[in-house]
Structure 1
C-alpha cells in the first residue's frame, strides 16, 4: 500500500466530515435530535461503500462499483486500520491535562454517581451474559462472551468496539466487531434520541430542577454552531511557535502516553509468555488502548509534578481527542459490514433491545432512588454516556442544566475519572473475553453480579437516603471519551 493511498484515504475522511457538517447545519431533523456530524458522515460513507452502493451496482451490472462502491479496496483497507490506532490516542488523553483528584475528594463529591454508574455498567454485563447463556448460545450457537457486546458497544462506543477487533478474531468470532459497531451506533443514536425524549418527559412531569417548559435550545445550538458572542478559544498557546507548535507539543505528549502503554503491554506479554502462558493467556489478547490510558496517567502524574509553567493545555488535548474520535467514527462506520450484522440479526436485535431496556430502565426506576439530589440531571448524564459516549452524556446534561447550576457536572466528572480505567473500554472491558474463554463465563458473571448487587445496595440503602436540598459542588474536569 503506497503512502499516496494512505494520504488520499485521510483526505477523503476530511471531505466526508465537511459534507456531514453541512448536512447537520441544513437538516432540521438531525439538529433536533442532536445527531453528531461524525455519525452522519459515517452513515454516508456506508451508503456509498461496498455493502450498499456496491451491491446495488453489482445487481445493475456496474461491476466497477461492486468491490468498494465509490471507494477503492485500498482506501477501505486504510480506513479499517485507523480505529485501532486512533482509539489509543483517545484513551492516552483521557486524564491528560486534568488534575487528578485524591480518592477522598472524588468519593465525597461523586459517591452516588459512582454507585449509579457502576450499577449501569455491571448491569450491562449481567444482562448481556444471562441473555447469552439462556438465549443466544442455545438458539444461535454464538460464543457465550457475545453477551459482553452490550457493554463494549454501549458503554464503550465505536472506539472500543473497533479497538477490540483482534480480540474478537482471536477467539473465533470476527463478526463480533460488526455487531459491536452496530450496537455502538444504536447506542449513540438512542442516547441522543431517547435522552431528548426523557428530558421532554421529565420537564412535563416536573422532575427537572432547572429546565422548565419554556426553555429551548437556540437555533445555533441545534445546528451545532457556537454563536459569535459566546465563542471561546479552542486551546491556549502555551509555548512559542518559533520553538515548537503548541499542537505539536500536545500530540507528542499523547504519543508518549501511547508509547509508554505499548512498552507496558509488551512487558506484560513477555512476563506472561515466560510464566503462565502454557496454562492460559490474558495479556496476549488485551488491546493497546486501555494500557495506553495507563500510560497517559503516568504522563499526567509527571505533568503535575514538573509542569510548573503549566504548558499543558487541557482544551488542546481534548481537541486532539475529538479529532481522533471524529475520524475513528467515520472510518469505523464506513467499513461496517452490514452482511455480518444481517447474518447475526437475531443476536444483534436481542442484544440491542436488552441493553437499551436495561440502561433506560435503570434511569427511570433506579436513579430517583440512588441519587440523593438533582437525580434527573445527574442520572441523564450517566444514561447518555452509558448508551453512547461521554460527549452524549454531556450534551444531555447541558440541555437540562445549561449553566451548570447543579452538582451533576462535578459528580459526573469525578465518576468518569474513577470508572474510565475499568469500564467503557478500560481494563475490565479488555479482559473479560480472554477470561471467559480461558476460565468460563462464571468467572465474569459471578463477580459482575456481586458488583451489581453491592453498588445497587449502597446506592439505594446509603446514598439514596441522604436526601438533601440542592447545593452546588466543586466543578470537576470531565475526561472526553
Structure 2
C-alpha cells in the first residue's frame, strides 16, 4: 500500500465530512436529532462503499471492478486501520492541560455522578455476561467475549470499539469488532433520540428546575453553526510561529503522551513475560491495546508539566481541537469500513444486545438518578445517561439543552466524574482487560466480580451520596 493511497484515503474522509455537514444543514430531521456530522458522513461512506453500493454493482455487473463501490479496496483498507491509531490520540488528550481539583472537592461534587456512572457500566457487564451464558453462546455460538460488547459499544463508543479491534482478533472473535461498532452506532443514536424524549418529558412534567423547552432551542444549536457575532476563539497562541507553531507544539505533546504510554505498556508486557506469564502461562498485558496507556501517559505528562512548565505552554482548548479532529476522523473511518455482512450474520445477538443496552440505561437512569443525586437529579443524571448510552459528548449535549445557563452543578460534576471514570471504564483499563479476563478466567468469575462491584456502587450512590444534603 503506497503513501499516495494513504494520503488520498484521508483526503476523501475530509471531503466526506464536508458533504456530511452539508447534508445535516439541508435535512432538518438530522438537526433535531443532533446527530454528529462524522456519523452522518460515515453512513454516507458506508452506503456508497463496498457493503451497499459495491454489493449491488457486483450483483448486476459481470465484473468485480466495482466491488468497493465508489472507492477502491485499498482505500477501504486504509480506513479500516485508522480507528485503531486515532483512538490513541483521543485518549492521550483527555487530561493534558486539565487542572486537577482537590480530591475532596472532586469527590463531594462529582461523587453522585461517579457512583451512577459506574453502576450503569457494571450493570452492562452483568447483563451482557448473563445474556452470553444463557442465550448468545448456547443458541448462537458466540464467543464468551460477547459479554463485554454492551459496555464496549455503549459506554466506550466507536473509539473504544476500534481500539479493541486487535484484541477481538487475538481471541478469535473478529466479528466482535463489527458488532461493537454497530452497537456504538445504536448507542449514540438511541442516546440522542431517547435523551431528547426524556428532555421533552421532563419539560412537560416539571421534573427539571432549569430546563429550557426543546422547542426553544436556537437555530444555531440545531444546525451546529455558531452565529458570526457569537463566535469565540477556540484556542490561545502560547508560542510564536517564528519558533514553532502552537498547534505543532501541542501535537508534539500529544505524541509524547502516546510514547510514554507505549513504553509503559511494553514494560508491563516484558515484566509479565519473565514473571507469572511464563510460569503460569497467563498473559494479559500483551492483549491490552495502547489507548488506555496513552491516557495514562497524558496524565503523567500533565503532572510533569504542572511541576516544570513555568511558561504555561499548554492551552487546553487547542488540545480539545486536536482531540476533536481525531474523534471525527475516527468515527467516519470506523463507519465507512463497517462490515454489514458480519452484523447481518449475527443479527439475532445484535438485536438482543442493542435492546438490552438501551433498557438497562433507561431503567437505571429513571430509577437510580433521583435516589443517588439529592439535588438537580435530572440535570446531572441526563449527562450520565448520555455517556452510558452514547459517548461523553452525548452527555454534554443533553446537559447543555437541559441547563444552557449552567444554573446547576451538572457541568462541574460531569467534568469531575471523568477524572475517576474514564481511566477505568468506557475505554479505560477495565474495558481494555475485560475480554482477556473473560477468556483467561472464564465468564462466571468475571460475572461474580462485576455483580459485587455493581452492588457496591449502587449502595454507595443510594445510601451515601443520596442521603447527603447539598
Q: What TM-score does the superposition give when structure 2 sets the normalisation length?
A: 0.98
The Cα shift of 1:268 comes to 0.8
The Cα shift of 1:336 comes to 0.1
Between 1:211-220 and 1:110-119, the stretch displaced more is 211-220
Alpha-carbon distance between aligned partners in 1 of 2:217 and 2:62, rounded to the nearest angstrom: 46
Aligned to 1:55: 55
Question: Is the aligned partner of 1:310 residue 2:331?
Answer: no
Please give the secondary structure, in 2, of the residue aligned with 1:249.
Answer: helix
State whether residues 387 and 393 of structure 2, in contact with CA within 8 Å, keep that contact through their aligned partners in structure 1: yes
Aligned to 1:478: none
The Cα shift of 1:113 comes to 1.1
2:461 to 452, 459, 462: 459
> Which string of whole-angstrom CA distances, capped at 9 and with x for unpartnered residues, describes residues 117-175 of structure 1?
11111111111111111111111111122011000000000010011011101111100
Rate the CA distance shift 1:386–1:65 in 2: closer, same or farther, 3 A. farther
> Which string of whole-angstrom CA distances, capped at 9 and with x for unpartnered residues, describes residues 19-47 of structure 1?
00111111100000100000000000000
Aligned to 2:449: 447
Aligned to 1:268: 268
Between 1:87-96 and 1:432-441, the stretch displaced more is 432-441
Alpha-carbon distance between aligned partners in 1 of 2:48 and 2:65, rounded to the nearest angstrom: 9
Question: Is the aligned partner of 1:7 residue 2:33?
Answer: no
**Structural mapping, 1:140-179, within 5 Å:** 140-179=140-179
Structure 2: which 5+ residue stretches go unaligned? none
**Structural mapping, 1:197-208, within 5 Å:** 197-208=197-208
Alpha-carbon distance between aligned partners in 1 of 2:177 and 2:62, rounded to the nearest angstrom: 29
Aligned to 1:379: 381
> Which string of whole-angstrom CA distances, capped at 9 and with x for unpartnered residues, describes residues 96-117 of structure 1?
1101223222111111111111
Please give the secondary structure, in 2, of the residue aligned with 1:63.
Answer: coil
> Which string of whole-angstrom CA distances, capped at 9 and with x for unpartnered residues, describes residues 234-263 of structure 1?
111110001001000000000000011111
Aligned to 1:280: 282
The Cα shift of 1:212 comes to 4.5
> Which string of whole-angstrom CA distances, capped at 9 and with x for unpartnered residues, describes residues 312-368 of structure 1?
000000100000000000100000000000001111110011011001111111111
> Which string of whole-angstrom CA distances, capped at 9 and with x for unpartnered residues, describes residues 9-66 of structure 1?
0100010010001111111000001000000000000000101000110111163554
The Cα shift of 1:311 comes to 1.5
State whether residues 54 and 65 of structure 1, in contact with CA within 8 Å, keep that contact through their aligned partners in structure 2: no
> Which string of whole-angstrom CA distances, capped at 9 and with x for unpartnered residues, describes residues 215-240 of structure 1?
62111110001112221111111100
Structure 1: which 5+ residue stretches go unaligned? 469-481
Question: Is the aligned partner of 1:369 residue 2:390?
Answer: no
Alpha-carbon distance between aligned partners in 2 of 1:324 and 1:192, rounded to the nearest angstrom: 21
> Which string of whole-angstrom CA distances, capped at 9 and with x for unpartnered residues, describes residues 358-403 of structure 1?
0111111111111111000101001101111111110000000001
Aligned to 1:395: 397
> Which string of whole-angstrom CA distances, capped at 9 and with x for unpartnered residues, describes residues 269-312 of structure 1?
11111112232110010000001111111110011111222210
Alpha-carbon distance between aligned partners in 2 of 1:62 and 1:241, rounded to the nearest angstrom: 56
> Which string of whole-angstrom CA distances, capped at 9 and with x for unpartnered residues, describes residues 61-93 of structure 1?
163554311111111111111100000011011
Aligned CA-pair RMSD:
1.2
State whether residues 192 and 384 of structure 1, in contact with CA within 8 Å, keep that contact through their aligned partners in structure 2: yes
State whether residues 87 and 163 of structure 1, in contact with CA within 8 Å, keep that contact through their aligned partners in structure 2: yes
Please give the secondary structure, in 1, of the residue aligned with 2:286.
Answer: coil
Alpha-carbon distance between aligned partners in 2 of 1:323 and 1:292, rounded to the nearest angstrom: 17
State whether residues 57 and 65 of structure 1, in contact with CA within 8 Å, keep that contact through their aligned partners in structure 2: no
Alpha-carbon distance between aligned partners in 1 of 2:460 and 2:274, rounded to the nearest angstrom: 41
State whether residues 145 and 173 of structure 2, in contact with CA within 8 Å, keep that contact through their aligned partners in structure 1: no
Runs of 4 or more consecutive aligned structure 1 residues displaced over 6 Å after TM superposition: none
> Which string of whole-angstrom CA distances, capped at 9 and with x for unpartnered residues, describes residues 161-214 of structure 1?
011011101111100000000000000111111111110011111101111448
Alpha-carbon distance between aligned partners in 2 of 1:455 and 1:62, rounded to the nearest angstrom: 59
Please give the secondary structure, in 2, of the residue aligned with 1:287.
Answer: coil
**Structural mapping, 1:305-454, within 5 Å:** 305-454=307-456
